[in-house]
Amino acid sequence: MFQTSYIELSQSALEENYKFLKSVVGEQTLISTVIKGNAYGHGIVDLVPMAIKAGQTHFSVFSADEARLCREVAPNAEIMIMGMLDNEELEWAITNNIQFYIFEVNRLEEALKIAKKLNQLAQIHLELETGMNRTGLRKKEVLKVIELLNQNENYILKGICTHFAGAESIGNYVRIQEQIKSFKKQRKQLAKEGLIAECYHTASSAATLSYPKTQMDMVRIGILNYGFWPSTETFIHYVKDKSDRTDPLRRILSWKSKVMSTKTVETGEFIGYGTTYMARENMKIATVPVGYSHGYSRSLSNQGRVLVNGERVSVVGIVNMNMMVLDITDIPDTKKGDEVVLIGNQGDYSISVSSFSELSDQLNYELLTRLPHNIPRKVIK
């Protein structure tokens, strides 16, 4: 195997998730698959071909390096950079038909200059500031953008967009409503200036479900693709009026390893570093070659759970950099090489990312994106 663990990605689960999303947004709204953060830890080079096989054609990334990885495995797909793009990367983006956000005047000036030099069209999306106060063109900057675009022809206005400040929480309701109003107003003003985009988009996963009117021409779907809800609130909002409250999403990712060795520990002996865990009886333990350097949080020491031989077993002692110890006293026949499920299903049990998150005080997003790039990904049915 040449690795201490591996990740399985389910093609059928991804397709089921897209089927659900299409039932939500309809056939007229384009789904852009957000693959920032190494496709939320699933792996860009593995996930993108799966998405294409499922019929997806548009991908959203954060930076030029993610766009490059996506382009390598999806030569014909539409790719949109929502964040980092240095001036020296603009030429590559324009040459390779990569779309990108404009959220500052300088980027637009440079893009138009380079596009003219290349005799190509810069494919741009204007990101408007509506109240997120992160990236986005403020009203004064929009006036300068209008001036620049009216003086130039080397561009295609692919989109006009914004991002909502926490659509996954009802606590942000008033703020989101103000953002929606601001976007509508600015969209009308731009149209009066002759700036009409091919596509208008504002909705992330949470907004797509909680604020359906924000779906517009395209939705930028991240966490939902991978089988997770943006928040418990979002799930409750979705199912509250449904007769069937079964979770329609399917997890794509499973994370597996195997037992490295087993041994016995006598009553009163400490296990691992320090004195955090003392054997209260004679125990059988197993070591697994996965630790915090692989994305298994040290905060799961003495409280994590994994699956071995169809049973849920406890992590005992401190999670090390490269290994952890399991209590296998109740399954003494466990041996070297037996499968260990860190995330996923085995027998009648499952270990979910959300259960990890509750124990380690991490968001689903955070835990997934911390899975290292070098863990092998395998696509399964």
Indicate the annotated binding residues for substrate. 134, 321
Q: Cβ of 86: how many Cβ atoms within 10 Å?
A: 12
Q: Cβ of 137: how many Cβ atoms within 10 Å?
A: 23
CB-based contact 58:48 (threshold 8 Å): no
Indicate the annotated binding residues. 134, 321
- β partners of residue 327: 285, 314
CB-based contact 16:199 (threshold 8 Å): no
Q: Which two tokens stand for residue 22?
A: 């299409």
Q: Which two tokens stand for residue 340?
A: 């260990």
Q: Cβ of 10: how many Cβ atoms within 10 Å?
A: 20
Block residue for tokens 């005992």: 316
Of 173, 184, 273, 378, catalytic? 273
CB-based contact 271:285 (threshold 8 Å): yes
Of 36, 158, 256, 258, catalytic? 36
Q: Is 36 a catalytic residue?
A: yes
Q: Cβ of 224: how many Cβ atoms within 10 Å?
A: 26
Of 166, 231, 158, 167, residue with least CA distance to 201: 158
CB-based contact 44:69 (threshold 8 Å): yes
The string of DSSP letters for 246-301 reads S------EEEEEE--EEEEE-TT-B-SSTTS-B-SS-EEEEEES--GGGT--GGGT
| Residues identified as active-site | 36, 273
